[in-house]
Amino acid sequence: PHAGPVESKNEAAMSELVPEPRQKPVVPMKPMGINANLLGYIGIDTIIEQMRKKTMKTGFDFNIMVVGQSGLGKSTLVNTLFKSQVSRKSSSWNREEKIPKTVEIKAIGHVIEEGGVKMKLTVIDTPGFGDQINNENCWEPIEKYINEQYEKFLKEEVNIARKKRIPDTRVHCCLYFISPTGHSLRPLDLEFMKHLSKVVNIIPVIAKADTMTLEEKTEFKQRVRKELEVNGIEFYPQKEFDEDLEDKTENDKIRQESMPFAVVGSDKEYQVNGKRVLGRKTPWGIIEVENLTHCEFALLRDFVIRTHLQDLKEVTHNIHYETYRAKRLNDNGGLPPMTAETEENHESNL
Amino acid sequence: QNHGYRTLSLCGPVGFDSLPDQLVKKSVKQGFCFNILCIGETGSGKSTLINSLFNTNFDDPVSTHFLPSVRLRAQTYELQESSVLLKLTIVNTVGFGDQINKEDSYKPIVDYIDAQFEAYLQEELKIKRSLFSYHDTRIHVCLYFISPTGHSLKTLDLLTMKSLDCKVNIIPIIGKADSISKTELQKFKNKIMSELGSNGVQIYQFPTDDETVSKINTVMNGRLPFAVVGSTEEVKIGNKMVRARQYPWGIVQVENENHCDFVKLREMLICTNMEDLREQTHARHYELYRRCRLEEMGFRDIGPENKPVSLQEAYEAKRHEFYLELQRKEEEMRQQFVQRVKEKEAMLKEAEQQVQTKFEHRVLMHQEVKLKLEKKKKVLEDEIAVFIEKKANAELLQSQASVSTPVVSLKRDKDRK
């Protein structure tokens, strides 16, 4: 809403509301934009502080999914993003795991705190994706998991007696790891993103980017962007959800220049120029993860966490979830009924 | 909430402490809604107080005492302070307490509050909905103006507040408090609070769970009801212009905490608890309304045999019911239509019959007349024939007569010669 023009007193019509019987809901009237000239400080702007305090008290949920073939550095990257051992591999006992025969969905949650802000972070791993001989439809378990979380939320939302705060297990962000082949996207990449970009926010990342030179990186990124566009794949931030000009300019830059982010992850520290930095040590030098000249990890981190975290959640809630809900309520049994059997396939370390 | 979750420590800065800022930024972009309902008798100082609270002159015409029933008048304004845009709606009761019979006075108010909940609920139940851009008209706070009698609450006050306390956050206020002295005021406040308590009226309690505000809120809870004075005029005190009421015996300053509780009210209402008022309205009052309404409509969380009813089943059942109802109505309408067509057909047939009868009658008449005319014609023809005959005879006679007469005249002529 924008402040309306100052209207003359004569135009300020008196709006009468005759109460109507219960059956018909009274349509709320359109607000009159009488711009009241403030003659002194009232304190309306303190609502910002009040709101901030409340949200700090309740805390935040964030659910991030990582998808990609094994060996692309997914777990390491997530650990680096959140500067702690949040991924499945770090938490499980068995480090020498076999590649599973089918795609599994493994969610693990931790509570992390920074600056008084408590966050319940859930990392959802998808081991087995793209690792089989025949990978047809290997995105289906993932799509099913995502829809199941929407279903869970919907069930809670339509209860008569509702919880004060509905637990949010919906996937807010899906990092898709692209192999740094330097050529182009693989058919599996395209298939996955085509299907899933309609139900979840997908952020494509180029994994293990330390195998490409700067020129190779730029060319590869351009090719990937072109391929995504040609195939009609809308990754986050989606063009159609830009709220205003400010958003559009900011997001256009990210969409057309920075993404997909070419990243390197590491949880080991080394001494460089007297500072301790996260990096990868090779015979030809130390790759500094948070150095923007070496890789785009810092861009990804700032994008996902420092500027667009809340927006990722809002797009998930206001758009993806609403789409699911509308479809679900319209379809006369179009979606398969959620039975108890489906829950056995999903192991959760929660 | 975090049962079973391990807490991990960070080995370096991540940056999600900017989350509250991100959230606030988005909220500011969207703007805020705040809706105040003022209940009080005509002339209790509602409009003046609102003008004083928001430091503006909202255009609000003065009303008469002679309205037949209580009505509500809502007006929305857009206020801006630094980057915060507030959509403020003030709902006033008009004619409250003026009627001779006040039994039903509270009903229009309850209906209005329910109607706003209903509108929100309808939006929430839609299949294609847009809750994040919905203009929230639910009442966040009700300022109840108590008359400064100095004695106790009126029956109307208790009745009204009792019917509203489960639907809205009530903050009781003593309006036009400059007519009560300080000692009388404290006694009056105590009496009011004890009456509210003994009648089980639940007024809004300023929240005390957050350490930063719990102290001030607890203190303020003890100062209720707030005794306020409002003014639209300014008086020069020292070298400043302040809102005040000028009497021959002195000047009552609105923002002087020794004179009245106006500043406390503004503090509590706007600067400290506005967000909590909004949250309580949504999380408590609205949820209660929603629950009752859905149960009224026949939805249940637990179906017969105590098994949980799934969303799909509930909607299926409702849809089925609705469909049957539609079918029944359609059948009814079809029957009605068929009936009407039959009736119309019958009418037309009858009309047709009538016309036919008339026609036949006319044909008959026509034939009769024709016959008559033919007869007459015959008669006339006969007469003509007779006449012609007579004429012929007459001419014959005449011609015979004229043959003889000319000889006579010749003879005469000869004679003359």
Of residues A166 and A133, which shows the higher confidence score?
A166
CB A207 within 8 Å of CB A263 = yes
| Residue in B263, B47, B70, B244 with CA at minimum distance from that of residue B145 | B47
Asked if B119 and A27 come within 8 Å (Cβ–Cβ), the reply is yes
Q: Are A68 and A103 in contact (CB under 8 A)?
A: no
Beta A16-17 vs A117-125: how paired, if at all?
unpaired
Considering only alpha carbons, which residue of chain B is nearest residue A32?
A: B76
* Range of weakest confidence among A23-32, A221-230, B354-363: A23-32
Instruction: Output the pLDDT for position A342.
Output: 37
Determine which of B10, B14, B56, B323 to mutate to test the interface with A (most A C-beta atoms within 10 Å).
B14
What is the percent of chain A with per-residue pLDDT over 70, rounded to a whole number? 80
Paired tokens of B368: 């009769």
Pick the residue of A22, A108, A110, A114 with the most B CBs within 10 A to test the interface with B by mutation: A114
pLDDT of residue A223: 92
> Any CB–CB contact under 8 A between A306 and chain B?
yes
Give which of A19, A7, A120 is closest to B59, Cα–Cα.
A7
Question: How far apart are the CA of A5 and the nearest CA of chain B, in angstroms?
Answer: 10
Instruction: Write down the ipTM of this complex.
Output: 0.76
Between B74 and A171, residue with greater pLDDT: A171
The answer to whether residue A311 neighbours chain B at the CB level (below 8 Å) is yes
Q: pLDDT, tens digit, for every residue of A287-333?
A: 888 888 888 999 999 999 999 999 999 999 999 999 999 888 877 43
pLDDT at B351: 94
Tell me whether residues B17 and A14 touch, CB distance under 8 A. no
What is the domain partition of chain B in residue ranges? 22-297, 310-387
The verdict on a CB contact (< 8 Å) between B135 and A314 is no
Lowest mean pLDDT among A85-99, A166-180, B143-157, B208-222: A85-99
> Residue A67 has what pLDDT?
93
Q: Is B149 on the interface with A (CB under 8 A)?
A: no
DSSP three-state, residue B264: helix
Of B75, B127, B316, the CB nearest to A32: B75
Amino acid letter, A101: K
- Architecture of the domain whose range is B22-297: 3-Layer(aba) Sandwich (3.40)
Q: Which residues contact A252 (CB under 8 A, 6 or more apart)?
A: none
pLDDT at residue A24 is higher than 60: no
Pairing state between β B71-81 and B84-94? antiparallel
Q: How far is B311 from chain A (nearest CA, A)?
A: 7
By the CB < 8 Å criterion, does B212 face chain A?
Answer: yes
Residue that the structure tokens 């391929």 belong to: A227
Q: How many CB atoms lie within 10 A of CB A122?
A: 21
Could B122 and A25 be called an inter-chain contact, meaning their C-beta atoms sit closer than 8 Å?
A: yes
Is A38–B80 a contact, with Cβ atoms under 8 angstroms apart? yes
A58-332: which CATH number, 3.40.50.300, 3.30.1370.60, 3.50.50.60, 3.20.20.70? 3.40.50.300
User: Is the CB of B135 less than 8 angstroms away from the CB of A114?
Assistant: no
Task: For residues B393 and B403, give the distance between their C-alpha atoms in angstroms, rounded to a whole number.
Answer: 16
Q: Report chain A residues whose CB lies below 8 A from the CB of B81.
A: 38, 41-45
* Residue B282 at interface with chain A, using a CB cutoff of 8 Å: no
Residue A200: which of A248, A243, A148 has the closest Cα? A148
Per run of 10 residues, the mean pLDDT along chain B (length 417 residues) is 69 86 88 92 87 77 72 84 86 85 86 93 86 89 91 88 93 90 89 92 89 87 90 84 87 88 90 91 93 82 54 66 86 93 94 94 94 94 93 89 62 56
Alpha carbon separation from B321 to B76, B124, B314, B315, B318 (Å, rounded) = 40, 21, 11, 10, 5
B79 touches chain A (CB under 8 A): yes
Q: What separation in angstroms does the CA of B152 have from each of A244, B169, B191, B260? A: 55, 21, 6, 19
Owner of token pair 């509930």: B314
Q: Tell me which residues of chain A, numbers 35 to 94, contact chain B at a CB-CB cutoff of 8 Å.
A: 35-48, 50-57, 59-60, 62, 81-86
Task: Please enumerate in sequence order all residues whose Cβ is within 8 A of that of B144, keeping only pairs 6 or more positions apart, or say none.
Answer: B39, B40, B157, B160, B161, B170, B171, B172, B173
**Residue contact B299–A160, C-beta within 8 A:** yes
Is the CB of B64 inside 8 Å of chain A's CB atoms?
A: no
Does the pLDDT value for residue A242 go beyond 90? no
Contacts of B23 in chain A (CB under 8 A): 51-52, 55, 310
Would an 8 Å CB–CB cutoff place A116 in contact with chain B? yes
State whether A110 and B16 contact (CB < 8 Å). Answer: no
Residue-level pLDDT at B414: 58
Q: Is B10 on the interface with A (CB under 8 A)?
A: yes
SS3 B391: helix
From the CA atom positions of chain A, what is the Rg in Å? 24
Provide the pLDDT for residue B189. 92
Question: Could you report the per-residue pLDDT of A143-165, keeping only the tens digit for each?
Answer: 999 999 999 999 888 888 888 88
User: For residues A207 and B338, what is the distance between their CA atoms, to the nearest angstrom?
Assistant: 73
